[in-house]
Chains A and B, each alone.
Chain A
Amino acid sequence: MALDGNALAGPLAGIYAFDVTTARARCAHCGVVARLARALVFASAMGIVARCRACEEVLLTVVERPDGTSVSARGLAWLRP
């Protein structure tokens, strides 16, 4: 399902201490800075992948499971509330 970064608000609500969708994020691949709400988001039963809207490389992945949520944020150079 093709969505956007607004859909990250719920899955990441228990991970970060602020609303990540309004946070500015720098893509580690191309260096573009944008609010995370503007990212491309693909959701499936496996989890969620957020990609940079400029270069389409992976910013972060989220997997929600009954025993907790795992986040890989390798594609973020930084995140600022």
Chain B
Amino acid sequence: MTWLVAEVTEIVEVTASARAITLRVPGFRGALAGQHVDLRLTADDGYQAVRSYSLADTALDDVVELAVDRVDDGEVSPYLVDVLEVGDQMEVRGPLGGFFVWRPENVEPVQLIAGGSGIVPLAAMVRARRRAASTAPFRLTYSVRSVADAFFAEELSASAGVDTTWVYTREPPPGHARPAGRLAPADLASTFGPSQDPAVFVCGPTGFVEAAAALLLDAGHDAARIRTERFGGA
């Protein structure tokens, strides 16, 4: 698969540490919700770094939409969040991956579970569902440190047919009934249970994904129905 030339056309702040980045990429075609791209950045001295980023939306050909959170000790994300400007160029390979994918023709219940910026490919699924006018029942459990750390909060909460439950690990907003804390067995009460046989998509940092998958297995979900995507970071 060839590397395509990409140019940054828009940058929008998502949180204090994350930006939505839109790239114009002639030749980029047919992405599915949940897929990712590889980005290749080349420094002035020729040094290259490649990283994978999930697509935040798959609406348009020739366009790549990302949402990138800064990993403080990372090599690439601080550049993308703090330095990158409209007009900058990089290279893109994709769309990639057929495993962590939701297709609009699927009518079965879908359970989405996101930790932090792991919401990005799941938001792409919510957007694809809306665009296709799908009636597949969606539920989303989104774990974030605080309200200020949430990506796309207003849009997700307002998505008709998508039942969103918030899990705040550090600082819940005033009046939020659930106390601060990591995803726990009780949080599965708002998710589709094993008897409803949902397709389950879990995305987040490795520790979050492992913990969420273990909770789901303990609750009786079939391992083959749980699809996971982990991203690095410390």
Contacts and interface: CB of A to CB of B under 8 A. Distances in A.
A19 B97 contact: yes
B97 A37 contact: yes
Interface string A1-36: 111111101110110000101100000000000010
Interface in A28-70: 35, 37-38, 43, 45, 64
Contact of B52 (A10, A14, A35): A10
A10 B206 contact: no
A37 B230 contact: no
B96 interface: yes
Contacts of B229: 4, 6
A43 B232 contact: yes
Interface residues of A, number: 21
B99 A37 contact: yes
Contact of A38 (B37, B228, B232): B228
A66 to B, nearest CB: 9
A14 B93 CA distance: 11
Interface string B86-124: 000000011011111000000000000000000000000
Contacts of A7: 52
Nearest to B229: A6
A12 B228 CA distance: 19
B97 A3 contact: no
B93 A37 contact: no
Contacts of A4: 228-230
Contacts of A11: 38
Contact of A10 (B93, B98, B232, B233): B93
Nearest to A18: B98
Interface of A: 1-7, 9-11, 13-14, 19, 21-22, 35, 37-38, 43, 45, 64
Interface of B: 1, 36-38, 49-50, 52, 93-94, 96-100, 206, 227-233
